[in-house]
């Protein structure tokens, strides 16, 4: 398994021409998947970096436990069941063949195992990915066998290398070649060797099962290159503060997942936002489908398309009955000044007027941040609040402008948040 170890390590850590990963950076990633002592369904992150694995695991764990988080404290067995079910689900989603691979150490869970405390010193601080290569893998052929093996390795996932061992398991289950075929720039590792942040490809792999580098819907072409995006509605979602700064555009497949749970991305960290109301993620309405299709013809997110593309948009939405006459009529109606463009808002108003989204005016929400230092009183706990979703900006209910709110406004433009704590939760 030595050569295979090197392939995995190179995919995760190695950038051509770099000096490798420093021991201090690697140390930040050597932690287990462990629950907070104060919030029994929330995973704790000791240092910056591994949120790229911990947040996706938490988002799936929240899917398992979100209906009962305020009812009782989970027992150790319930924690074990929730975590192992989550890990099996992520591995199942990533699997590209009929077999699954679970990576562990040949002797024991991990060298220098500590279950609940970060590494703070000692001789092991000089170790790097090359020093701590996994040396055993278990291949299972069925989903039932996978679930049994994941449960049997529970102490391994909790051990000091649990995050990395699970990451390596996902990579080998997906297949190194398959991952390299999906990543846009194969010279970039899944973890930045300078700052230790996980790439978007890594987050997408754990959230959707595909290691694509972008968050838009479908594929796009740029200068003859095909850039891969998300191809199906995700089970859990992703929103990012970077969209509010216009650095990227998250597509509908991640913005509107099957369950009301989203990873929230800041410039340096990942946290989780979720609710219990399934109506927040009801099946795509005709107007939402129209908005998504329109935006595929507007990749720059300008809010308009050239009128020459109107017929293609209408055909994609089955709105064309008589192409020559009807499209011409719609062009003149949607572009009365003859500017040669069609705006999104008038287009939706013309074809999909007065459509009710079905979203309640207010609903309970929860925010999770795995870093102790980012939580009130330095305790990893869910922050509960109430979201108000309006169809317009109402100065009477305007709340503080925070990064969490700006991130959520990329999905709900007029959302307001009333948290039950003295301060708003942190994205960082």
With a pLDDT cut of 90, the percent of the chain lying above it is: 56
**Residue pLDDT, tens place only, 297-338:** 887 778 899 999 999 999 989 887 676 788 888 999 999 999
Cα torsion through 9, 206, 415, 364, rounded to 10: -120
Whether residue 67 is predicted with pLDDT greater than 70 in this model: the reply is no
Averaged pLDDT for residues 328-353: 91
Give the lowest-confidence range in 54-63, 66-75, 330-339, 409-418.
Answer: 66-75
Structure tokens at 240: 């990012």
Q: Specify the pLDDT at position 381.
A: 93
Q: What is the pLDDT of residue 117?
A: 39
Q: Report whether pLDDT(96) > 70.
A: yes
pTM of the model: 0.83
pLDDT digits (tens, 9 = 90+) for 186-225: 888 999 988 899 999 999 999 999 999 999 998 888 787 8
**More confident of the two residues 23 and 126:** 23
Measured CA to CA, the distance from residue 82 to residue 213 in angstroms comes to 29
CA distance 289 to 427: 30
Q: What is the pLDDT of residues 143-171, one digit of tens each?
A: 999 999 999 999 999 998 999 999 999 99
User: What's the pLDDT score for residue 325?
Assistant: 83
* pLDDT given for residue 98 in this prediction: 83
More confidently predicted of 321 and 237: 237
| pLDDT at res. 112 | 41
Summarised one tens digit per residue, pLDDT across range 352-393 is: 887 666 677 889 999 999 999 999 889 999 999 999 987 655
- Give me the residues paired with residue 368 across strands: 272
CA distances from 18 to 15, 86, 189, 205, 236 (A): 6, 35, 11, 24, 34
Question: Span 35-64, mean pLDDT?
Answer: 92
Average pLDDT over residues 58-86: 76
Cβ–Cβ under 8 Å, residues 55 and 33: no
Residue ranges of domains in the chain, CATH in brackets: 3-110+132-275 (no CATH), 286-352 (1.10.238.10), 358-419 (no CATH)
Q: In 277-425, which residue ranges form alpha helices assigned H by DSSP?
A: 286-296, 310-316, 323-334, 344-351, 403-408
The whole-number pLDDT of residue 116 equals: 39
Q: What is the pLDDT of residue 118?
A: 37
Residue range 338-358: mean pLDDT, rounded: 85
d(CA 42, CA 259): 18
Go through the chain and tell me how many residues it has: 428
Q: Quickly count: other Cβ atoms within 10 Å of residue 383's Cβ.
A: 21
Catalytic residue annotation: 51, 269
pLDDT given for residue 74 in this prediction: 65
For the segment 331-355, the average pLDDT, to the nearest whole number, is: 89
**Could you give the percent of the chain with pLDDT greater than 70?**
86
pLDDT tens digits, one per residue of 255-293:
999 999 999 999 999 999 999 888 787 777 788 788 888
Q: What is the DSSP string of 37-93?
A: SSSTT-B-B-SSSTHHHHHHHHHHHHHHHGGGTTT-PPPHHHHHHHHHHHHHHHHHH
Does residue 115 have a pLDDT over 60?
no
State both tokens at 370.
């795995």
Question: What is the tens place of the pLDDT at every residue in 384-422?
Answer: 999 998 765 555 556 678 999 999 999 988 899 999 998
Cα separation, 176 vs 178, in Å, equals 5
pLDDT at 139: 93
* Residue 225 parent element (H or E): strand 225-227
Read off the tokens for 125. 């601080």
Compute the mean pLDDT over every residue in the chain, rounded to the nearest whole number.
85
Calculate mean pLDDT across residues 112-117.
40
């Amino acid at each position: 398994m030595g050569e295979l170890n090197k392939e995995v390590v190179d995919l995760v850590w190695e950038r051509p021409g770099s000096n490798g990963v420093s021991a201090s950076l690697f140390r930040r990633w050597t932690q287990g998947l462990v629950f907070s002592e104060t919030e029994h369904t929330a995973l704790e992150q000791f240092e910056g970096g591994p949120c790229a694995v911990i947040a996706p695991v938490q988002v799936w764990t929240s899917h398992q436990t979100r209906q009962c988080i305020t009812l009782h404290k989970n027992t150790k067995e319930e924690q074990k069941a929730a975590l192992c079910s989550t890990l099996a689900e992520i591995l199942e989603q990533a699997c590209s063949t009929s077999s699954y691979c679970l990576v562990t150490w040949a002797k024991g869970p991990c060298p220098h195992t500590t279950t609940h405390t970060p590494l703070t010193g000692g001789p092991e601080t000089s170790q790097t990915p090359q020093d701590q290569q996994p040396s055993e893998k278990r291949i299972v052929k069925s989903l039932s066998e996978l679930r049994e093996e994941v449960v049997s390795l529970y102490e391994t996932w909790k051990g000091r290398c649990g995050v990395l061992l699970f990451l390596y398991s996902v990579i080998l289950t997906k297949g190194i070649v398959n991952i390299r075929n999906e990543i846009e720039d194969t010279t970039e590792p899944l973890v930045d060797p300078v700052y230790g942040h996980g790439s978007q490809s890594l987050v997408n792999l754990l959230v959707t099962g595909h290691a694509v580098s972008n968050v838009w819907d479908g594929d796009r072409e740029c200068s003859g290159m095909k850039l891969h995006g998300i191809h199906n509605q995700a089970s859990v979602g992703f929103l990012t503060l970077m969209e509010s700064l216009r650095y990227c555009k998250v597509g509908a497949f991640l913005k509107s997942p099957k369950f009301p749970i989203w990873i929230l991305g800041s410039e340096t960290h990942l946290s989780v936002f979720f609710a219990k109301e399934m109506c927040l993620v009801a099946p795509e309405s005709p107007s939402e489908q129209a908005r998504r299709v329109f935006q595929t013809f507007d990749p720059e997110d300008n809010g308009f398309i050239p009128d020459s593309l109107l017929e293609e948009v209408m055909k994609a939405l089955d709105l064309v009955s008589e192409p020559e006459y009807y499209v011409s009529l719609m062009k003149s109606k949607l572009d009365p000044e003859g500017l040669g463009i069609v705006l999104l808002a008038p287009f939706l108003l013309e074809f999909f007027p007065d459509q009710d989204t079905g979203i309640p005016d207010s609903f309970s929400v929860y925010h999770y941040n795995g870093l102790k230092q980012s939580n009130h009183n330095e305790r990893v706990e869910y922050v509960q609040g109430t979201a108000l979703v309006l169809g317009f900006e109402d100065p009477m209910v305007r709340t503080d402008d925070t990064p969490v709110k700006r991130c959520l406004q990329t999905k709900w433009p007029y959302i307001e948040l009333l948290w039950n704590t003295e301060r708003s939760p942190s994205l960082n």
